[in-house]
Each structure stands twice: as C-alpha cells, then as structure tokens.
Amino acid sequence: MDRRKFLRAVALSGAALTTIKEVDAMSILSQSFEAADGASKYDLVAVLGGEPEVMFRKAITEMGGMSNFINKGDKVCVKPNIGWDQPVEMGANTNPKLVAEIIKHCLDAGASEVTVFDHSCDDWRKSYANSGIEDAARAAGARVVPAHQESYYKSVSIPKGKSLKNAKIHQAIVDSDKWINVPILKNHGGAQLTISMKNYMGIVWDRGFFHANDLQQCIADVCTYEKRPVLNVVDAYRLMKTSGPRGRSLSDVVLSKGLFISQDIVAVDTAATNFFNQAREMPLENVTHIRKAEELGLGTTNLEKLRIGRLRV
C-alpha cells in the first residue's frame, strides 16, 4: 500500500465516520452567510496610501460599517496571521494596528467578546509576543488564546472538500458566532502566495496533511468549511515579495500601503494577487488554489462582475 492509497483509505474512513454528524451540519449549511443584506454599496473595497488603521476605517465605512456584519451579543473571532517570530517591519505577520482596529470596531458593534489566535509555525509564545499582536489585541479588548495544542481543536467535516474531507479546527472559530479573516499578503514558496485562503491553515491543527495531499487543493477545500468568515480583510500595508512566508531580511519587504476587504474570499484574493503582481510578477494562474476555490463555488475571480470601491487616503 503506498502513501496515497493509505491516506485515501484514512480520509475515506474518516469521512464515513462523520456522515452521522453531517445531518446537523447541513442545517447550518443551508443558512445564508450573507450577513450584509444589501446595505453595502460595494462587494469589495480597496484602499491605498494610508496607515493600516486609517485604511481600515475608510474601508469598513464604505462596506456599511461593522454593524453590517456583526450583531449585538455576537461572539466574534478575529484570525490574523501570527505565524512567525518576526517583528512588524518584516511583514511576516498581520499588522497589529489593523488587528486592534478591527477588534475595536467589533466591540463597538456590540460583540460580546472578541477572541484572537493563530496556529503559529514558529514558537507560539515568541510569535504572539514579537509580532506585537498579543499586546495590541489585549489593549483593544480582545482575549488572546493559545492554539499550540491539539486539545484546543475540534473535529469538523468538510463535505465539499475534494482532498480534505475533515479537519480539526480551533474551538475559537467553531464556537464563535462570527469570524473575521485578517491575513497579510505575502509570497509563499509552496503556494506562491498566502492571502485569505492560505490564512485558513492557521485555524487547523494538522497542516502536514495539507502539504502531503495536494496543498493547493486542500487550501481551497478548507475554505468550504460551513462557517465562513463574515469579512476577509487583507493587510497589504507591508508586502513580502520574496523569501516568504517567513522572510529573511528587509530586502524582501515592500511598504505597499494597501488594504482589501470583501466577503468574497476568491475575489479579495484575486484583487490582492493583482496588487502583488505590481511588486513582483505573479500571474493569477500560478496561485492555483484561487481557481480551485472558484470551482468549488466559493466566489469569483472575475472582478469585472463586482461592485468595487477604489479609494485613496
């Protein structure tokens, strides 16, 4: 039995076991995740030229305000990229000012609590601290929770996935009412780019499975998990053009001062890829998980069809 067969057998038997749960899952699936009931003028807003928090304020206003996405009393999870033990200047982690601003908006919109976590690649204590996110998020009123042990994760099924049929997802997401995906735009050696979809890898426990079973397909698959983020906010204030996702030196980083926000994860990643393409050539075709996600019905790469707000600070 080779690896593929073995893993397929494991995946299939796993999937078979979870079918019992799927009945419950389907009822949630049938709910619409479109919280924005047409109040927003735009499907996607792009902002250039400001500080992270200023760009976010502008963008969320154009999207109709945070109360368009968060209801009073909601338990909200904000999921930045806190993957690396790197300082802010390296652009390896989401900008802490942006994370703090989003938390404040959630609390102002009446969120009962805001949780922040990431399944870091480097030592999680160092990553949480040195990224500046732990302090910033706490100061903004969020609860920063650990994600370094399997016991913090809950098994869920991914019925629409092609390679990934089930996964262990962090309880902060599973137990939340709403969650906001806050990636940073970076080059990635394997996946070419890491944006909103790739940021999902920080909510799962077993990343190794992704890498071993068609990484690009698994990234698209995990995004079909029934609980979708109510917003994807792409931090492109700093953009790591090379040596990503960890980065080696400041020569990898461009101060690009951009921010993209949308409910459509495919569209926002498409827009961010096009933006990245200006710093270093990166055709959309190279970032294959974006097309795979479109095929799974997660959104559109055809930005022409969308109402896009383009703003400058």
Partner 1 sequence: MLKKIRVTLSILLFTLITLYFLDFRGYLPEWIQWLTKIQFVPALLALNVVVLVALLLLTLLFGRVYCSAICPMGIYQDTVAWLSKRVNKKKRYHYSKAKNGLRVIVLASTVVAFIFGFTLLVGLLDPYGAYGRMVTHLLRPAYLAGNNLLASIFTAFNNFTFYKVSVYIVSVSSLVIALITLLGIGYMAWRGGRSYCNTICPVGTLLGFLSRYSLFKVRINEEKCNACGLCAMKCKASCIDAKNRKIDYSRCVTCFNCLESCKRNAMKYRPNVPWKKKRQPRIVENQEPTGSLDASKRRFLTALLAISIPAKNLIAKVGSESPLSKRAFKRQTPIMPPGVPSIDHLLQKCISCHLCVSKCPSRVIKPALLEYGLGGMMQPKLYFDRGFCNYDCTVCGDVCPTGAILPLTKEEKNHNQMGQVQLILENCIVYHDETSCGACSEHCPTQAVRMVPYKGVLTIPEINPEICVGCGGCEYVCPAIPFKAIYVEGLTMQRRIEIEHDEVKEIQIDDFGF
Contact 184, 93 (CB under 8 A): yes
Q: Check the CA dihedral 118-124-129-135 and report its sign.
A: positive
Q: Which of 17, 22, 73, 125 binds partner 1 (CB under 8 A)?
A: 125
Distances (CA, A) of 148 to 84, 97, 292: 13, 24, 29
Q: Of 285 and 295, which CB lies nearer to partner 1 in the complex structure?
A: 285
Q: Does 275 bind partner 1 (CB under 8 A)?
A: yes
Give me the 152-181 binding string for partner 1, x by CB under 8 A, dash otherwise. x-----------------------------
Q: Which of 48, 54, 174, 296 binds partner 1 (CB under 8 A)?
A: 48
Question: Residue 265: CA atoms inside 13 Å, Cβ hemisphere, count?
Answer: 34
Q: Which of 148, 154, 160, 162 binds partner 1 (CB under 8 A)?
A: 148
Which range, of 19-27, 52-60, 212-220, 224-232, touches partner 1 by CB under 8 A?
A: 212-220
Q: How far apart are CA 23 and CA 224, in angstroms?
A: 17
- The alpha carbon torsion through 16, 21, 22, 23 (nearest 10 deg) reads 130
Q: How far apart are CA 58 and CA 65, in angstroms?
A: 9
Helices (H), 196-241: 207-212, 215-222
Q: Of 57 and 148, which CB lies nearer to partner 1 in the complex structure?
A: 148
Q: Does 191 bind partner 1 (CB under 8 A)?
A: yes
Q: Does 246 bind partner 1 (CB under 8 A)?
A: yes
> What residue type is 79 in one-letter code?
K
Q: Which of 18, 71, 155, 243 binds partner 1 (CB under 8 A)?
A: 243
What are the residues binding partner 1 (CB under 8 A)? 3-4, 46, 48, 85, 121-123, 125-126, 143-146, 148-149, 151-152, 188-192, 207-209, 211-217, 239, 241, 243, 245-246, 248-251, 254, 256-258, 270-271, 274-279, 285-286, 288, 303, 308, 310
